[in-house]
Amino acid sequence: MRTRLTELLNIEYPIMQGGMAWVADASLAGAVSAGGGLGIIAGGSAPPEVIEAEIRKVKEMTDKPFGVNVMLLSPNAEALAQMVVDLEVPVVTTGAGNPGPFVDKWKAAGIRVLPVVASVAYAVRLERMGVDAVIAEGTESGGHIGEATTMTLVPQVADAVSIPVVAAGGIADGRGLAASFMLGACGAQIGTRFLACEECTVHENYKEKVLKAKDSDSVVTGRATGHPVRGLKNRLTRQFKELEAKETSLEEYEALGSDRLRQAVKEGDVRNGSVMAGQIAGLVREIRPAAEILREITGEAEQLLLSAPQLVEK
Ligand code: TUI
């Protein structure tokens, strides 16, 4: 499959892996890149030296392109923004904020820059700043989210900008990838599906919870704080909901959330930890190698697109 995304990133399949904090390490990113997609190492809020080690590991695993996600809410964002230049990282994605202060530096270093956007206005601003493409992420996604759905956001962004658009949020199989193309995107960013791949190092309990999830098992907490987060329902999300109903102070609310993602990902405490995952978790049923997932999704999308003309009367 050749699209504007495979051309831009020099990859085989039009699929990028989501930059999931605490989850997307060298093991996952290296497997996705070696498999022909674009693997992403998540900066999250990790110290820069931790991310540097992951970058070096991916470079040892594969010569193919890979990326780093700079999470802009992190206090380490600025240090990471410089490190990707120093270590000649080929692709940068950003999330949860405005990458404006870094775009010129990254472009001057020859880095491909693909920010995540959750609105049309933001996509237009970033195109003017000179980014290479935007990732239009719908509210179906796991983790920190915006309001618009993928179905409504992607075509509106595609109409508003001339740079390539990547669809994200609620995509886990060939139907989702084919639909992304129909909405005007040239590829998809996929997170939740890669949680359940062999090379993903999250705790077994986390994977199990994703595999067992049904369509109705994700919930959004934190809307009141301005940082809404989607994750799988558990004791923690129930506690968050109780605090929200009581209109508790922001401090108390944030204290409850601190360190919870690490607790779930690393310790496997999926009752009290934050099990971030998207609405499509209900579709994820088995653990497979990343390369197989990439092949299967793209193959299924190709079959669907080849049979699409049957829908139309000649
Ligand atoms: O960033 C994400 N998803 C994330 S980051 C994350 S780590 C975290 N942990 C706890 C609390 C908060 C974060 C977990 N998941 N996705 C990309 C994304 N970016 N979604 C929405 C946005 C976004 C929102 C507003 C991007 C830009 C934006 O613009 C703000 C502005 O300045 O106008």
> How far is 168 from 293, CA to CA, in rounded Å?
16
pTM confidence score: 0.97
pLDDT at 191: 98
> 3-class SS at 168?
strand
pLDDT at 211: 98
Distance from residue 95's CA to the centre of ligand 1 (Å): 5
Mutate to test the pocket of ligand 1, among 22, 76, 144 (most ligand atoms within 8 A of CB): 144
Distance from residue 156's CA to the centre of ligand 1 (Å): 20
When pLDDT is cut at 50, 70 and 90, the band that residue 293 belongs to is very high
Question: What DSSP state is assigned to residue 210?
Answer: H
Pairing assessment for the beta strands 143-144 and 229-232 based on DSSP bridges: antiparallel
When pLDDT is cut at 50, 70 and 90, the band that residue 29 belongs to is very high
pLDDT at 256: 78
Contact 151, 180 (CB under 8 A): no
Measured CA distances, 221 to 188, 240, 275 (Å): 25, 6, 12
Q: Which of 186-195, 218-227, 293-302 has the lowest mean pLDDT?
A: 218-227
Q: Is any atom of ligand 1 closer than 6 Å to the C-beta of 229?
A: yes
Q: Is any atom of ligand 1 closer than 6 Å to the C-beta of 144?
A: yes
Q: How many residues does the chain have?
A: 314
107 has pLDDT over 90: yes
pLDDT at 255: 75
pLDDT at 102: 98
Q: What is the arithmetic mean of pLDDT over 98-117? A: 98
Chain mean position to CA 87: 22
Residue showing tokens 């240090």: 79
pLDDT at 6: 98
> How far is 113 from 110, CA to CA, in rounded Å?
9
Distance from residue 310's CA to the centre of ligand 1 (Å): 40
Q: What is the arithmetic mean of pLDDT over 11-32? A: 98
pLDDT at 250: 79
What percent of the chain shows pLDDT beyond 90? 92
> How far is 201 from 221, CA to CA, in rounded Å?
25
Mutate to test the pocket of ligand 1, among 69, 80, 92, 116 (most ligand atoms within 8 A of CB): 116
> 3-class SS at 268?
coil
pLDDT at 248: 80
